Amino acid sequence: MKPYLLHGKLQAQTGHALELTSILIEASALLLVAKGCKMYVVSKDSNKPDAVFITEIWDSKEDHDNSLKVEGVRELIMKAMPILNGPPSKGQELEVMGGLGI
């Protein structure tokens, strides 16, 4: 089975990108105990100051879905929601074809 890759963008309200980034990095620490988490990276594009990107690689989509049950994850989602500029959009589900560390 190929790994599951999800790449998404969250749009923060103006001036809240750093706060949103901090929340997502805090979430990444919680995912250290999540089954199947291979990578969880938070990134920014200097040309889009209020956008925060998340790239995740999991052993399976099921492992990703189960990560929402990790203690503290739901609380961080609730903390992030008020500073988002609109509801989160569905991220890109990409097929992993290979590469270093896969």
Could you give all domains of the chain from N- to C-terminal order, each with its CATH number?
4-95 (3.30.70.100)
Tokens read off for 91:
């991220």
Predicted confidence at residue 99, as pLDDT, reads 86
pLDDT over threshold 80, residue 20: yes
Average pLDDT, the chain: 94
Grade residue 88 by pLDDT with cuts at 50, 70 and 90.
confident
CA distances 79 to 21, 22, 73, Å, are 12, 11, 10
Element (H, E) at 92: strand 92-95
pLDDT over threshold 90, residue 1: no
Going 69 to 29 to 55 to 10, the CA torsion angle's sign is: positive
